[in-house]
């Protein structure tokens, strides 16, 4: 077991390194330079652009060949130096340190919302198979899967922000992170990000429950005279949870990079999605590479822990 974990960790590091390299090269071969933003100010003051550009690039080593830049970047990274953000004028680590919490909070809250509601609706739908409740839930989940999250976000702002005036149409960063006001303004973003996931969980839970409801041990449990609550809660649900864990964890990885990214942009939440998005436009390669690297590692760790949780939940599975 231990050797399996070590093997997987080494493998994760190699994948993350590959992704880091691709991102770095993609950004550095781009047509723009991270110092372009400085140059706009300099041009406005009427100084000679070319000489200033060369001076700044020489200072940060941006005039060297890409291979050399890459080696020095990697060398710094291994010493724990994440580099300098040109667009924010601060160390990359400080930039990430002050923004990660917004993304984390958004993803955490919407995941909890989606799991709690999704799994319960899915169970309800399976237990009441082929009733009106089941059909209504199915239609709801079809709609939830098909609705583009960023558009749902816009519509929520339009209805509850612009028309009804219940919520602000912008994100106010002056509140403390876990204060009630901040949680209130997260309601719409959490809905926009969570509904797609929720709908997917409803479908997975329903089909996993239905698979198990037909099994013989369920018939046995019922024949023993166990109350329906025990049959569903203990016999069916516990077996249905297994495939759900994989799917939910896998989705968590895609949320980190897909949905949260767009939700942050729609609602103006200053999380890592917003940060990396702005960094791409500013060609601020150190920030993009750092955010990509952290996100990738997160996804790889989630994948690894999924496999480990799986062996714990289902002792029949062994990795050796």
Partner 1 sequence: MTEATKAPRRISSGFNSRLAGYYWERLKKNRLSLVGLGFIALLALLGIFGPLFAQDPQHTDFNVKNLPPLGFSIQESIYDIKTDSFTTTTLPGRPDHPLGTDSKGRDMLAMLISGSRISLLVGLLATGIAIFLGTLIGVLAAYAGGWVDNVLMRFTDIMMTFPFFLLLVLIVFILGPSLTIIVAVIGLTGWTGAARLIRSEALSLRTRDFITASKALGASDSRVIFNHMIPNVISLVIIMATLSIPGVIMAEAALSFIGMGDPMSTSWGTILNTGQHTMDTAWWVAVEPGIMLFLTVLSFNFLGDGLRDAFDPHSII
Nearer to partner 1, 16 or 119 (CB): 16
- Closest approach, Cβ 234 to partner 1, in A, equals 28
Near partner 1 in 220-239, by CB under 8 A = none
Under rule CB under 8 A, residue 30 binds partner 1: yes
- The residue within the footprint of partner 1, chosen from 182, 258, 304, 309 (CB under 8 A), is 258
Scanning 27-35, 47-55, 234-242, 309-317 for contacts with partner 1 by CB under 8 A, the matching segment is 27-35
The answer for residues whose C-beta is within 8 angstroms of residue 275's C-beta and 6 or more apart is 95, 96, 99, 287, 291
- The residue within the footprint of partner 1, chosen from 10, 61, 68, 142 (CB under 8 A), is 142
Q: What are phi and psi of 107, to 5 degrees?
A: -65, -45
CB 202 within 8 A of CB 141: yes
CB 144 within 8 A of CB 199: yes
Strands (DSSP E) contained in the chain are 84-85, 90-91
Under rule CB under 8 A, residue 265 binds partner 1: yes
Under rule CB under 8 A, residue 257 binds partner 1: yes
Under rule CB under 8 A, residue 261 binds partner 1: yes
Q: What are phi and psi of 269, to 5 degrees?
A: -80, 125
Under rule CB under 8 A, residue 66 binds partner 1: no
- The residue within the footprint of partner 1, chosen from 4, 8, 15, 306 (CB under 8 A), is 15
Nearer to partner 1, 51 or 319 (CB): 319
Under rule CB under 8 A, residue 277 binds partner 1: yes
- The residue within the footprint of partner 1, chosen from 162, 177, 313, 317 (CB under 8 A), is 162
Q: What is d(CA 141, CA 160) in angstroms, rounded to the nearest whole number?
A: 22
Task: Indicate the burial class of 84 (C-beta count within 10 angstroms; 0-12, 13-18, 19 or more).
Answer: middle
Q: What are phi and psi of 84, to 5 degrees?
A: -120, 135
Nearer to partner 1, 21 or 76 (CB): 21
The answer for residues whose C-beta is within 8 angstroms of residue 235's C-beta and 6 or more apart is 212, 217, 218, 221
Residue 32 is given by DSSP the state S
Q: Which residues bind partner 1 (CB under 8 A)?
A: 15-16, 18-19, 22-23, 26-27, 29-31, 142-143, 145-148, 150-151, 154-155, 157-158, 162, 256-258, 261-262, 265-266, 276-277, 280-281, 288, 291-292, 295-296, 299-300
């Amino acid at each position: 077991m231990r050797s399996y974990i070590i093997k997987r960790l080494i493998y994760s590091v190699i994948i993350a390194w590959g992704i880091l390299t691709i991102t770095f090269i993609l950004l550095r071969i781009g047509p723009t330079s991270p110092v372009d933003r400085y140059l706009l100010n300099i041009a406005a003051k009427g100084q000679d652009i070319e000489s200033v550009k060369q001076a700044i690039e020489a200072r940060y080593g941006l005039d060297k060949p890409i291979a050399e830049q890459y080696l020095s970047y990697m060398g710094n990274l291994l010493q724990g130096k994440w580099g300098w953000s040109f667009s924010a004028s601060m160390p990359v680590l400080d930039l990430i340190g002050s923004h990660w919490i917004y993304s984390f909070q958004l993803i955490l809250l919407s995941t909890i919302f989606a799991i709690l509601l999704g799994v319960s609706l899915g169970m309800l739908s399976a237990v009441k198979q082929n009733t009106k409740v089941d059909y209504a839930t199915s239609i709801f989940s079809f709609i939830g899967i098909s609705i583009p999250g960023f558009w749902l976000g816009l519509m929520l702002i339009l209805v509850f922000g612009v028309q009804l005036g219940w919520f602000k149409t912008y994100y106010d960063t002056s509140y403390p992170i876990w204060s009630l006001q901040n949680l209130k303004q997260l309601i719409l973003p959490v809905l926009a990000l969570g509904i797609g996931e929720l709908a997917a969980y409803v479908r997975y839970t329903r089909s996993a429950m239905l698979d198990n409801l037909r099994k013989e041990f369920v018939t046995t449990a019922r024949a023993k005279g166990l109350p329906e609550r025990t049959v569903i809660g203990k016999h069916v649900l516990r077996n249905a949870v297994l495939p759900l864990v994989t799917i939910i964890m896998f989705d968590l990885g895609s949320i980190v990079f897909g949905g949260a990214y767009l939700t942050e942009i729609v609602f103006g939440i200053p999380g890592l999605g917003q940060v990396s998005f702005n960094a791409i436009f500013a060609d601020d390669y150190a920030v993009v590479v750092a955010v990509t690297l952290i996100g990738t590692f997160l996804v790889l760790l989630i994948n690894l822990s999924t496999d480990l949780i799986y062996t714990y939940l289902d002792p029949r599975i062994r990795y050796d």
